[in-house]
Each structure stands twice: as C-alpha cells, then as structure tokens.
Structure 1
Amino acid sequence: MPTPGLHGSRQHALWLRRFHPAPDGAVRLVCLPHAGGTASFYVPLSRTLPADLDVLAVQYPGRQDRRREPGVESIDELARQIYESVLPLADRPLALFGHSMGAALAFEVARLLEQRAGIVPAHLFVSGRRAPARHRDETLHQLGDEALLAEVRLLSGTDRSVLDDEELLRLTLPALRADYKAVETYRYRPGPPLRCPITALTGDSDPKTTLDEVRAWAPHTTAAFDMHVYAGGHFFLTHHRSTLAHTLTTTLLPHPPTPPPPDAPPRHP
C-alpha cells in the first residue's frame, strides 16, 4: 500500500513505501530496487536497521500495487520522477541505496539533487553495479521471454513462487522488460563528480560486474570512496543482510550500535 504521512503528496504516496515507521529517524535512507524488483525487496533490510534510520523504498510502476501502470523505459525519466518524490524528504540528511539497476538510478537521483536543488546527499551506496562510465553492450530486452527469464533465474533475484507461477509471470514480464530496456539503454552523460561520499558494494562472483568496474565508481565523487567485497554473486546482499545493515548504520549514524554482525564480514580490496 502507498505510504501515508509523506507530507500529504500524491507523488510521494505513489513512489515511496515505509514498512517500519521511523519518521523521527536522524537520517532518511531511500532504497531503490533492481530490475524487476519491488519495494518489498527491502522489507528484511528495513526490519534489520535501527529506528534511527527512516527507511523508505521506491516502488517503480508496473508491479504490485502499481501493476496497472505502464513501466518506464528510461533511467533518466525514472530518476526525474524519483527525484521529485524524494526532494521534500531532504529536510533532514538523505542517503540513497540502490542495487543493480537501482544503483544507476540512485546515482542519477543524487546528481539531480546536487545539480538542481543544491542538496548534497548524506551518502550514496551503490550495490551490484559497475560504475556509470563503464559501459557494456546488453540487449536482453530485445530477446524473447524465455531468454529474459533465463537471465532472471541465473541471477537468483526473483522469488521462486513468481518464477514457477505462469499467471504471475505474465503479470510481471512487462515491468521486467521495461526495466531491462531502461538499464540496458542507459548511457552515462559526463558531468561534474558528486560531492557526496560513495560506498560501492559487490559480490566477488557477480557476473554483472568485475571488481575493476566497481572500483571505477571512485572518480564519480570528490568526497570519500569506499568499496566492500562480499562472498557471493549478483544478489550477495540477501546472504549478508546483517553485515550490510551494520555497514549502513555505522556509516550513517554518529553513534551506531556496537554489536558486530553475525555473518561473514566483507573484504576491503
């Protein structure tokens, strides 16, 4: 359901979901899903983070409660609409977290915040995505349904109950194809580097990016850059939720909780 209480704006209610209310959180963290993903992908992470972080997740058109809307086939257009939705949230420190396609979107939203509104995000977290200036020719969105679904199964980012349900698949394929078209046709436009810090996170066996392509995020900011490498593939974050939550918390909060996470720590190359 759309999130209530976001300044009463229909734009906010349409695009943003708050699963665990923390409206008085010191920092707002806006999470952007992967291609084919939904806002609810971030429910477990939101549950794991402390109440000092006000966690919101973006719901793209064409899925779940927005399933009757057509998907948006352009990263630039998606970023513009998300920017307009999150701009009123910048009355307190605002951080962005994006995974895969969501990382490219988060980067473009951060650029809009800085260039149009003069707002420097508290932090940009980019997960499972090569740097914007590192291009790969990808054309899955032009292929048939089976090729697209084979890619989704390979990356293991979609709930098996969806992949095994023919009716659900028919409902999700248009949004999935729109997302793949958006991210595969995305082209970085050179411009000034961001002024906010960037933390890049990646799996050590992610087929969608190499460690060198992830390190290439560094020149996209004039502030601090950090990189964490986890064991796993493209959706490494689902297996390292506690460690990821600890990284987000210690980065964003001045006095974070001290207990270490139980799962394996990331490497710092």
Structure 2
Amino acid sequence: MVTQQLFLACLPFAGGGAGFFREWEKRGIPEVTVLPIQLPGREERFIDDPFTEVADAVAELTPKIVSGAGDGNIALFGHSLGAVLAYEIARELERIGHPGLRHLFVSGSPGPHDGRTERATGLPDEQFIAGVQRFAGYRHAAFDDPDLLEVLLPILRADVEMHENYLATGTEPLSVPITSLRGEHDELVSREQAEQWAEVTRGSFTYQELPGGHMYLVDETERLLQVIAGSPACG
C-alpha cells in the first residue's frame, strides 16, 4: 500500500514569518513535507502590504496551499494568530470540497468563538509593544533594536489588528479532526480555552500539553513534531 504524501501547511504567529517553520523542514518527519506559509510584509515578501483582515488572508493563502500540496493530503498547523488563520483556511477547504484535508493542529489559542477583550490596536508605540509582550508572553528581540523595531512594528500592528478584529465566519462544525496544543505553563491561554476547539468539529478531538509557556514551540520543536508525527494524519 502506497501512503500519500502529507503536506503540513504552517501558519505563523503575530510578527512571525515562514522562516520560523523552515527550521522544521530540516528536522524531518517521515512522509510529511513541511509547507511554510509566508504572510506579506516580511522576509521575501517584505515589499507587500500586510493583511489586516483574516478574510483577505484566507482568500490569498488557501489557493497557495492547495497549489503547494498538489495531489498530496493537507494538514494545517497554526500558533496563536496562525491558529485562527489555519481554522478559517480549513473551513474554506471544506467549503470548496477539497478532498485532501486531513487534520487541523491549533496551538496556543482559545476556540475561534472566544474573542479577546483586552486590545492593543491603536495604542501609542510604547504601550502597544508592552501590550503585545504581555499578550505573547515573550519579548521579541527586535524590541531592543531600534532599526529592527522600525521594520517589525508595522507588520506587528497589522497582525495584531487582524487577530483582534477577527470574528469566526460561521458556527457549523468542521468534519476534520482537530488537535489542540498548549504549553503546560501558558498563562495566556488556559486548558479550558484550548479545549474549546472540541466544539468546532464533528471529527475526533485531541488535547495535548507540552512543556513550556505560551511560546513553548520555540524550545520544544522536537516534541511538537513527534506529536504531529504520531497523529492519525501521518498514519
């Protein structure tokens, strides 16, 4: 029996880019091809205007994921903002009847119907940065470099606006299995919030904690990839 190749499309957190997931390509998961998805405004897409609406991101990124996967199966992974994008792309793939969607991995995120009440959009730079640092649970290295901060700030503002203004496009459950991942010491997203994802699928649901806080995936890449490799999507 020939196992069809699985493409793991990876959506970044606010301020992040595809470069983060290109490191995953070097780790290697048997029969899984990592497909880092680049958002505009960063890295090789530096000159492109960043998204400020999830709907615009979904409209542009979904065809790119389908094209990148070709005839292969698709799993989606997203952390924080990326989880929202991955969820809406999964909805779009099901809407168009794409036959290859196999799994949705959402990380560091409440369910899609639990909007954020505290906001950073529109705040002056210093207050905005402090708010983002509090929301993200870590301090981006660019915050301490004025030149890098000048480059990052417009991207980060656009990403935060997109995330804070997000409203789920519907309530109809997905049919695709969902795995919700969370750092066991995440102070931003509780276990209860992470388990809200069980409510948005008719398929199977798995909750998994890994060591670390909200940005556990920075230090626990190997364990995270082992969880993905052990999922039915990779079977």
Is this a same-fold pair by TM over 0.5?
yes
Helix, strand or coil: the match of 1:43?
helix
> What's 1:59 paired with?
38
Change (3 A) 1:158 1:30: farther
> What's 1:190 paired with?
170
Shift of 1:75: 1.0
Are the equivalent residues in 2 in contact too, given 1:32–1:58 (CA < 8 A)? yes
> What's 1:215 paired with?
195
Aligned counterpart in structure 1 of residue 157 of structure 2, from 177, 182, 186: 177
Find out whether 1:68 has 2:47 as its counterpart: yes
Post-superposition Cα deviations, 1:57-83, rounded to whole Å, max 9, x if no partner, equal 111111122121111100111111111
Aligned counterpart in structure 2 of residue 33 of structure 1, from 12, 31, 49: 12
Find out whether 1:206 has 2:217 as its counterpart: no
> What's 2:230 paired with?
250
Distance in 2 of aligned mates of 1:71 and 1:38: 12
Shift of 1:47: 1.9
> What's 1:167 paired with?
147
TM-score normalised by structure 1 residue count: 0.80
Gaps of 5+ in 1: 1-23, 255-269
Are the equivalent residues in 1 in contact too, given 2:115–2:164 (CA < 8 A)? no
Aligned counterpart in structure 2 of residue 49 of structure 1, from 28, 36, 52: 28
Change (3 A) 1:156 1:64: farther
Helix, strand or coil: the match of 2:169?
coil
- CA RMSD in angstroms comes to 1.9
Are the equivalent residues in 2 in contact too, given 1:25–1:51 (CA < 8 A)? no
> What's 1:10 paired with?
none
Shift of 1:141: 1.5
Helix, strand or coil: the match of 1:91?
coil
Distance in 2 of aligned mates of 1:145 and 1:42: 28
Q: Percent identity?
A: 33
Are the equivalent residues in 1 in contact too, given 2:79–2:109 (CA < 8 A)? yes
Helix, strand or coil: the match of 1:134?
coil
> What's 2:57 paired with?
78
Distance in 1 of aligned mates of 2:14 and 2:57: 12
Are the equivalent residues in 1 in contact too, given 2:15–2:159 (CA < 8 A)? yes
Distance in 2 of aligned mates of 1:205 and 1:225: 21
TM-score normalised by structure 2 residue count: 0.91
Helix, strand or coil: the match of 2:182?
strand
Change (3 A) 1:120 1:111: farther
Aligned counterpart in structure 1 of residue 80 of structure 2, from 90, 100, 104: 100
> What's 2:219 paired with?
239
Shift of 1:118: 3.9
Helix, strand or coil: the match of 2:127?
helix
Helix, strand or coil: the match of 1:228?
strand
Instruction: State the aligned residue count.
Output: 230
Change (3 A) 1:215 1:156: closer
Structure 1 stretches of 4+ moved >6 Å:
none
Distance in 2 of aligned mates of 1:101 and 1:86: 17
